[in-house]
Amino acid sequence: MLEYDTLLVKDIDNWGNLYSITQFLENVELKLSDNGFDRANSRLVFSVCPDDVNRLEELETIENALTGKYNGEFHLGGLGAYPMGGVSGLTAASHHPPDEQNGGDRKEGNLILFVSPHMGIMDDAGSAVYGKIIRPGQEKVTSSCGAMMGFIAALKEAGSPEEFFIAPDENRIDPTRVVLHNELIQNYADDLERILAIDDYNNQTLELFKLNHDVVAKKTKEIIDTFLKKEHFEGNIALISGITINIPERDLFLMKDFTFPKVD
């Protein structure tokens, strides 16, 4: 059986910190509590992929663990965890946290943003294959995340970011694909060229998902900054970002950042 933890620690090369679900919750609860966040005064805001593998009840998932600790979540994310809800979505979410009470005075509660694309790893006859999983109830191999693995396959076929064709969406029936692909091609062409040049499949896939994280985390920070300039929000904001790793039966979490864009 593959030692997924050992494999990832070697391959991530100090890019982030790898946690089990238990380790992740211990880290998160302690740091949030030290900064005044708890279940009674906070609401989760997720920018994660819609893929149901991240919240199936028969799996031990990071998202379900967080939701269980902090009582529900507001969703901003589309395919690839891209924060399609934008400033309007975050503004709506800011109206939902339970009020915090201090000596009879009430103020708006806090937001805990969790930003995480996801990457699968499966065991193929003793060898790890990144970007692939076998889902509960299935026997076939599928991609995780399908949106990003589909993107890199199309990029390889095109040969370069310059030759990548983004199919139009005149009727706006596939908006996340168009927005995500434009973001990648227009703003991250150099990174994509570097990733295309990597020969090793697993290394290439891991670098793709590191970029996926950076894209959605950077955009989420821009959304938070704009929201704070636009809206009067009394509560505090925490931001946790990283890559959810889907392995058989459970998740791991590769945490990149844990910051407080607004804290009193």
Distance CA 181, CA 176 (A): 8
- What b/e sequence results for 123-146 when a residue is b if at least 16 CB atoms lie within 10 Å of its CB, and e otherwise? eeeeebbbbbbebeeeeeeebbbb
pLDDT tens-digit map of 88-108: 999 999 999 988 766 666 678
Q: Where are the domains of the chain?
A: 4-145+213-262
Looking at residue 13, its pLDDT comes to 87
Task: Please state the pTM of the whole predicted model.
Answer: 0.95
Spatial CB neighbours of 135, under 8 Å, sequence gap ≥ 6: 53, 142
pLDDT tens-place string over residues 152-183: 999 999 999 999 999 999 999 999 999 999 99
